[in-house]
Amino acid sequence: MSLIKVSGLTIAYEFRQSKLIAVNAVDLDIGEREFLAVVGESGCGKSTLALSMIGLLPKAVATIVGGSIIYKGTDLVKLNAKELRKYRGTEIAMIFQEPLTSLNPVYRVGEQLAEAIVIRENRAELGEMATSASDVMQETHRVDEVNVKVSRLPRGKKRISSDLKAEAVEALKLVRIADPEQVLERYPFELSGGMRQRVMIAMALSQRPKLLVADEPTTALDVTTQAQVLKLMKELMTKVNTSIMLITHDLAVASQVADRVVVMYAAEVVEDSDVFSLFSEPMHPYTKGLLSCIPTGSKDDTKLMPIPGSVPDLVNPPVGCRYAARCPYVMDVCRTREPPLVEVKPRHKVACFLYGQ
């Protein structure tokens, strides 16, 4: 059963007096307790897709021009800002690449964690007030402004009650932070990158969301810490009964944790498959290209070696298959018609004329 179902989603940015389609007719769904990875190079529309699912697209420049995002029978695309706030955090939560942009530097970990817990319990009471850093982020993407605005938000209790503290300690234990009492007293900058990301995960999960959207959560971490955080997310998924949508440019990261992988190229889904089928039998030439970039030895370097060429301009995308210019298997038809996404094997869809579309 789908927890969330995205259909035909199309999102445009106003960009230098023209329209840039960052997400084009995207279909995807996420099941209950499913770990979905969305993979693709930078600029493919992954973050835009993620922001739309949590209602955090930058209002001034982005418009959803078509499609739906059905969550528990409700189309999130049709909701206004106030209605969306009921879903954000409690139903659908998000963590970002660099936790320093989401954690407030002037408050201790304990205060911020306690606030997340208070928000969960007092949602109705807090009503229409902006209740989290994410709400403020919608109005501005500048970190310094976010911090200033967040510090003016009504805070929970500066002196944290013992019940709240106990819950905050539990939340930190859940993300395997040793010595949680001490960590509660620290400021974000006093923690390592891996610790900060764990705190962010603890904060997101303390609101008990049904879906956790994680946008490149481990990209800023070293390889060992990255593996630990990914493993933790996977464990937590079953423990706290949530689904996860992990966004990454790194197919190797996806392979470590995902049940299913959606590959995006130039604003579109080109392949959607369960993880075993994707790795044993990758179909789209783009997916094959990404796979061949994964080092197989014991080298520490997990960076993508770029496929020759680059993602096309999304203001004026090419006619036909968007990957044609970089594809080693390109055929005439690819330059005139766009291949539809078709299920060519059970649970394995691909958009490529090599498979008889």
| Binding site residues, Mg ion, CB under 5 A | 47
Cα-only R_g, the chain? 21
- Residue 217 as a binder of ligand ADP (CB under 6 A): the answer is no
Piece of 35-43, 84-92, 187-195, 338-346 that binds ligand ADP (CB under 6 A): 35-43
Is there binding between residue 195 and ligand ADP (CB under 6 A)? Answer: no
Instruction: Determine how many CB atoms are found less than 10 A away from the CB of residue 122.
Output: 12
Three-state helix/strand/coil letters over 54-82: CCCCCCCCEEEEEEEEEECCEEHHHCCHH
| Phi/psi of residue 269, nearest 5 degrees | -85, 125
Stretch of residues binding ligand ADP (CB under 6 A), selected from 39-47, 113-121, 238-246, 299-307: 39-47
- Per rule CB under 6 A, is residue 58 in the interface with ligand ADP? yes
The rounded distance, in Å, linking the Cα atoms of 153 and 135 is 11
Beta strands in the chain (DSSP E): 2-15, 18-31, 35-39, 62-71, 74-75, 92-95, 211-215, 243-248, 260-265, 268-274, 342-345, 348-350
Alpha-carbon span 297 to 134, nearest angstrom:
40
Q: Residue 161 CB, nearest distance to ligand ADP (Å)? A: 40
Q: Does 318 contact ligand ADP by CB under 6 A? A: no
| Binding-site partner at residue 276 among Mg ion, ligand ADP, none, CB < 5 to 8 Å by type | none
Q: Does residue number 12 form part of the binding site for ligand ADP (CB under 6 A)? A: no
**271: its two tokens:** 């392949």
**Residue 276 within binding range of ligand ADP, rule CB under 6 A:** no
45 binds, among Mg ion, ligand ADP, none (CB under 5 to 8 A by kind): ligand ADP
| Residue 18 binds: one of ligand ADP, Mg ion, none (C-beta under 5 to 8 A by kind) | none
Q: Total number of residues binding ligand ADP (CB under 6 A)?
A: 15
Residue choice 31, 43, 66, 318 for contact with ligand ADP (CB under 6 A): 43
Contacts with 255 (C-beta within 8 Å, 6 or more apart), sequence order: 261, 275, 279, 294
Query: CA dihedral defined by 332, 291, 214, 185, rounded to 10 degrees?
Result: -150
Least separation in angstroms between residue 98's CB and ligand ADP is 14
Q: Which is nearer to ligand ADP, 20 or 26 (CB)?
A: 20
Q: Which of 3, 6, 20, 213 binds ligand ADP (CB under 6 A)?
A: 20
Q: Is the dihedral of CA 234, 193, 55, 114 positive or negative?
A: positive
Give the three-state DSSP class for 158. Answer: coil
Candidates 34, 40, 199, 263; binder of ligand ADP (CB under 6 A) is 40
Positions in the binding site for ligand ADP (CB under 6 A): 13, 15, 20, 22, 40, 42-48, 58, 61, 314
